[in-house]
């Protein structure tokens, strides 16, 4: 078993079941996460018996980085899993610190018409060890502390909900990755039942929704998930989340030329979220050679922004961190597969 596949509670239970003490779990976790000691033999306060049990039964194994693409604002990592599947994550260097965008699945079943990730159907969910492994391998490779995490890479996190819940526990545990709840964001395309479950967890973890359209007609065309959960249902679930947590929700809105970027769309979106504890992040579409959708021009984006602003909507335009390095979701892996290099 890989040590990164355990939450603290689970490791305590595992060690107790094997005749050890609950506090032994904290000792091991502190060696690994705090002191960065990755060999059980060097964990000097553990008994000989516990060391040999760990050596025999546990591995300390993060992920293999097989390719890195660097740019001044963002680095992108292609990672190989044990079964040779590949995923990717992106490190962004913001003025407030390092932020890591992690993947949640191999492939994706949501089938959004503009997104690379979904061209490969879901092969499987990532395990807890693979979610945590992304954070560990990048911080080791760059020798940095990661300050915030967004689950916005390949996959739909709410379609891997159980492991995402366990990941939240490892990320926010102050003996483990130790990143505050408010520095962790989960992005979903809008799996309504899971939004309710997430709300009921009453954590301070941020929620972002890939809305991308102000009405069902447009959203049906570009996001398959809208056939299952209509915008009204998504908005109702978000109201519930806000009432439970009092946390502001991020509305992600990709600007696609001629599809969702008209002035009418901007007015309609303003009406939809007016008065709600939400803010809109306009995302210039990162064009990919596999779809013929185009990014809205800067003038359109600015005019969309101005309309939202004039309707008292909180709105930002996303700074493009990785457009030049195939950094939108799934693009590095897709380009590697296309060229047959990996």
- Apex CA 108: angle with CA 221 and CA 341, to 5°? 115
User: How far is residue 187 from each of residues 11, 103, 175, measured CA to CA in Å?
Assistant: 28, 11, 25
Q: Given the complex with ligand SAH, which of 50 and 106 has the nearer CB atom?
A: 106
Contact at 8 Å (CB) between 251 and 109?
no
Q: Given the complex with ligand SAH, which of 15 and 334 has the nearer CB atom?
A: 334
Footprint of ligand SAH on residues 98-137 (CB under 6 A)? Answer: 110, 112, 114-115
**How far, rounded to the nearest angstrom, does the alpha carbon of residue 284 sit from its chain's CA centroid?**
19
Footprint of ligand SAH on residues 6-65 (CB under 6 A)? Answer: none
Nearest-approach distance from CB 125 to ligand SAH, in angstroms: 13
Q: Which residues pair with 210 in a beta bridge?
A: 252
| Per-residue binding letters, 131-160, with ligand SAH (x by CB under 6 A) | ---------------------x---x----
Nearest-approach distance from CB 290 to ligand SAH, in angstroms: 10
Contact at 8 Å (CB) between 165 and 125?
no
Q: Given the complex with ligand SAH, which of 210 and 245 has the nearer CB atom?
A: 210
Strand segments, DSSP code E, in the chain are 64-70, 74-80, 86-94, 97-101, 105-106, 124-125, 148-151, 184-188, 206-210, 249-255, 278-284, 314-317
Per DSSP, the residues of 284-307 read E----TTS---BPPHHHHHHHHHH
Six token digits for residue 51: 């060391």
Nearest-approach distance from CB 90 to ligand SAH, in angstroms: 11
The reply to whether 188 sits near ligand SAH by the rule CB under 6 A is: yes
Of 119-127, 195-203, 257-265, 282-290, the window that binds ligand SAH (rule: CB under 6 A) is 282-290
How many residues of this chain bind ligand SAH (CB under 6 A)? 18
Six token digits for residue 165: 């819940």
Assign 3-state DSSP to the chain and report helix, strand, coil percentages, each to 5: 45, 20, 35
Nearest-approach distance from CB 324 to ligand SAH, in angstroms: 13
Nearest-approach distance from CB 266 to ligand SAH, in angstroms: 18
| Distance separating alpha carbons of residues 228 and 207, to the nearest angstrom | 20
Catalytically active residues, by annotation: 88, 329
Nearest-approach distance from CB 34 to ligand SAH, in angstroms: 30
- Please provide the distance, in angstroms rounded to a whole number, between the alpha carbons at the two ends of the chain: 27
Nearest-approach distance from CB 130 to ligand SAH, in angstroms: 16
The reply to whether 189 sits near ligand SAH by the rule CB under 6 A is: yes
Of 20-28, 80-88, 181-189, 195-203, the window that binds ligand SAH (rule: CB under 6 A) is 181-189
Footprint of ligand SAH on residues 191-210 (CB under 6 A)? Answer: 210
For residue 19, count CB atoms less than 10 angstroms from its CB and return exposed for 0-12, middle for 13-18, buried for 19 or more: exposed
Of 56-64, 162-170, 171-179, 285-293, the window that binds ligand SAH (rule: CB under 6 A) is 285-293
Buried (b) or exposed (e) across 20-46, using 16+ Cβ within 10 A? beeebbebbbebbbeeebbebeebeeb
The reply to whether 252 sits near ligand SAH by the rule CB under 6 A is: yes
Three-state SS string across 167-192, please? HHHHHHCCCCCCCCHHHEEEEECCCH
Footprint of ligand SAH on residues 299-338 (CB under 6 A)? Answer: 328-329
Q: Given the complex with ligand SAH, which of 6 and 76 has the nearer CB atom?
A: 76
The reply to whether 254 sits near ligand SAH by the rule CB under 6 A is: yes
Of 77-85, 138-146, 280-288, 297-305, the window that binds ligand SAH (rule: CB under 6 A) is 280-288
| Distance separating alpha carbons of residues 92 and 123, to the nearest angstrom | 27
Report the interface residues with ligand SAH, using CB under 6 A. 110, 112, 114-115, 152, 156, 187-189, 210, 252, 254, 283, 285-286, 288, 328-329
């Amino acid at each position: 078993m890989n040590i990164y596949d355990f939450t603290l509670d689970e490791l305590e239970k595992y060690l107790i079941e094997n005749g050890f003490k609950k506090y032994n779990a904290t000792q091991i976790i502190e060696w690994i996460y705090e002191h960065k000691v990755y060999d059980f033999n060097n964990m000097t306060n553990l008994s000989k018996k516990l060391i040999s049990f760990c050596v025999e039964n546990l591995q300390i194994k993060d992920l293999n980085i097989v390719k890195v693409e660097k740019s001044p604002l963002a680095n992108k990592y292609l990672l190989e899993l044990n079964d040779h599947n590949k995923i990717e994550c992106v490190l962004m260097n913001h003025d407030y610190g390092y932020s890591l965008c992690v993947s949640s699945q191999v492939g994706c079943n949501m089938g959004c018409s503009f997104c690379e990730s979904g061209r490969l159907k879901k092969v499987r969910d990532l395990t807890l060890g693979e979610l945590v492994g992304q954070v560990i391998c990048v911080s080791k490779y760059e020798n940095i502390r990661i300050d915030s995490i967004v689950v916005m890479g390949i996959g739909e996190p709410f379609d891997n909900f159980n492991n995402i819940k366990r990941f939240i526990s490892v990320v926010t545990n102050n003996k483990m990755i130790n990143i505050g709840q408010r520095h962790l964001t989960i992005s979903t395309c809008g799996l309504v039942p899971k939004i309710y479950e997430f709300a009921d967890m009453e954590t301070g973890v941020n929620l972002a929704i890939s809305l991308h359209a102000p009405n069902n007609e447009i959203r049906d065309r570009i996001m398959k998930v809208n056939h299952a959960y209509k915008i009204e249902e998504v908005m109702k679930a978000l109201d519930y989340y806000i009432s439970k947590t009092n946390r502001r929700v991020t509305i992600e809105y990709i600007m696609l030329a001629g599809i969702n970027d008209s002035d009418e769309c901007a007015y309609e979106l303003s009406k939809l979220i007016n008065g709600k504890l939400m803010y809109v992040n306009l995302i210039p579409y990162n064009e990919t050679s596999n779809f013929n959708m185009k990014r809205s021009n800067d003038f359109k984006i600015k005019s969309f922004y101005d309309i939202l602003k004039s309707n008292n909507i909180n709105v930002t335009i996303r700074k493009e961190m990785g457009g030049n390095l195939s950094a939108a979701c799934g693009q590095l892996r897709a380009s590697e597969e296309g060229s047959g290099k990996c």
